[in-house]
Structure 1
Amino acid sequence: MGCEIVIATPGRLIDVLENCSLVLSRCTYVILDEADRMIDMGFEPDVQKILEHMPVSNQKPDTDEADNPEKMLANFESGKRKYHQTVVFTATMPPAVERLDRSYLRRLAVVYIGSSGKPHECVEQKVFLMSESEKKKLLAILEQGFDPPIIIFVSQKDCDALAKSLEKMGYNACTLHSGKGQEQLEFALSNLKAGSKDILVATDVAGHGIDIQDVFIIVNYDMAKNTEDYIHLIGCTGRAGKSGVAITFLTKEDSAVFYELKQAILESPVSSCLPKLASHPDAQHKPGTILTKKHQEETIFA
């Protein structure tokens, strides 16, 4: 019967293209959502393969004509050989995304909303440096009376166990992780949005492509492996011009991200860096850098 819009994951889209169930000869608009996440998960070859199926007959000219608004508007309204556009949405801009942009986008225009690759200015970042056994401080934080919904990000192994512990404490909690089926994921999200559940305990899968409105506080019970993922996760709060709070529990096992996390907090106008983190030896220089010591003046006695 045909369709006007196709929403797909890269692998399944390649399947229908190779089976000729779908052709892109009349496609005029391509959106790559969460491009950095797709490439981080190893989908760059798949994305390139999909873009190669786009027709070359309606590519925008790489000349000054592309900068003429009258000609571009006339082409848009004509409906015949309409130039196709490719739009990339990404929270961070790693080299792989830049390489993809240069390869497939003509007359590239970059639009920044907020600061690219940095936490939102409306999100107050708070960190607590502790041992693994001290993470039970989570309960004391929740007792401060934050309004739901609340999102708690954990590693896969802690997800269900923490949710059960919160349920025993009297909180209404649900879980979201890759081990659940699609129906279970949708049921958990709908319960949180409807207000029947107050807390969502989730892995980093919830930090990408899922929109839950009016989340004032998120808790990183387990710190992300890198600051790019951290930026994604705390971006679940402070949306649509509203303020938010991101609380992160750090242990010595997270020392590899101390330096970049410290920089992210220092650059925030509404956050203050924890003194223990600011003075921590692992937060003084970027991992992998070689420190050189200044030679002190020496006196040689013969």
Structure 2
Amino acid sequence: RSEGGPARPRGLVLLPTRELAVQVHEVMEPLGAALGLHVNAVYGGADIERQVKSLRKGCDIIIATPGRLIDLGDRGELNVEKLDVLVLDEADRMADMGFMPQVEWVLRRIAEHPHQTLLFSATLDGAIDRLVKRYLTDPVFHEVASDSQTVSLMVHHFLTVHQMDRIKVAAAICNSFDKTIIFCRTKRGADRLVEQLEKEGVDAAAIHGDLRQSQREKALADFSADKLAVLVATDVAARGLHIDGVDCVMHFDPPEDHKAYLHRSGRTARAGSTGVVVSLLLWNQIIEAEVIMRRLAMKRPVVEVFSNDPRLKDLANWDPTKEMAAS
């Protein structure tokens, strides 16, 4: 950067959540250092003045969430017009979260400068397709197909539970695994579930957008380091995170659709290891679960359980389909 002028990075990685920004920065910073490049991460929920100070020391590659990027642009601390490479990570999630105007803000500013755009997305539909058609020149599509569909490396259970017994069932399942991620639909629901699980003797922490950045980072770090057995998350907070050794993903609240089911469930059985995915269903959520199974061409029985059911202790090896055939 010229003395006193805005930072002019050559590379920008744009992604939807702070956690993902932190994780990508941890991987890229040592790689950049080896090449003599300054890699900075800028995201909301952290001190903007400290981020500005860091940018002023030097900045070749920026990893950013959309809101904070625009803030820094508006303050004259950052200019993206000379980008050589733009990476849009979890592009479909950015579209779902309403970040397309900010993404287009960047694309408009670099339109005149020759650059490469890399767009990573689990799905390429709707807003993403429009973005590709409008801003990308002669795009090439690469699809990475895993050797076996990830779903098949997971053991899936759909369990009906009773409202009054639901927390106890969740606790029984958590106690039978070393590392469980539980998904809730709302931030308040996640906080409430952490409190209820702790009353059942399960050590849990929540991760969602209303928590301070330091709280979110601590919960993630403790979970990653095996100091915490259960992480309760909202969809947004957990998107794209890679945490090793997650044995179980629990859908405490049903996912919005089959795509959300896959994204959530993908926190386990990563990189070829196996994992258990369990959905806890109240009686009025069974139809939703059946729709998801149909969309994913999965056939699984929906089984009623209570918290004292011994089968909850070994979900990885329990096959309700065989049980039903035998009876």
Which category of TM-score, normalised to the shorter sequence, fits these structures?
0.7 to 0.9
1:123 & 1:179 partners in 2: Cα distance? 31
Shift of residue 34, structure 1, vs aligned partner: 1.4
Aligned to 1:299: none
Per-residue CA distance 1:212-268 (angstroms, 9 max, x = gap): 11112111111122222222111111111211111111234436734541224535x
Instruction: Show the 5 A alignment for 1:1-302.
Output: 1=56, 2-58=58-114, 84-114=115-145, 120-135=151-166, 136-143=168-175, 145-146=176-177, 148-155=178-185, 156-254=187-285, 257-267=288-298, 272-274=299-301
Partner amino acid, structure 2, of 1:153? F
The 3 A distance-change label for structure 1 pair 164 and 37 is: same
Partner amino acid, structure 1, of 2:85? Y
Shift of residue 179, structure 1, vs aligned partner: 2.2
Partner amino acid, structure 2, of 1:142? C
Deviates more, 1:171-180 or 1:18-27: 18-27
TM (normalized to structure 2)? 0.67
Q: Is 2:205–2:231's contact at 8 Å kept on the other side of the alignment?
A: yes
SS of the residue corresponding to residue 105 of structure 2 reads helix
2:202 & 2:303 partners in 1: Cα distance? 31
Number of matched pairs? 244
When Rg is computed on C-alpha atoms for both structures, the one with the higher figure is 1
Tell me, which stretches of 5 or more residues in structure 1 are unaligned? 59-83, 278-302
The 3 A distance-change label for structure 1 pair 236 and 88 is: same
Q: Is 1:227–1:257's contact at 8 Å kept on the other side of the alignment?
A: no
Alpha carbon RMSD of aligned pairs, Å?
Answer: 2.5
Per-residue CA distance 1:19-54 (angstroms, 9 max, x = gap): 432222321111111111111111112211211111
Shift of residue 177, structure 1, vs aligned partner: 2.0
Q: Is 2:90–2:240's contact at 8 Å kept on the other side of the alignment?
A: yes
1:130 & 1:23 partners in 2: Cα distance? 54
Partner amino acid, structure 1, of 2:180? I
Percent identical pairs in the alignment equals: 33
Q: Is 2:205–2:230's contact at 8 Å kept on the other side of the alignment?
A: yes
Q: Is 1:176–1:200's contact at 8 Å kept on the other side of the alignment?
A: yes
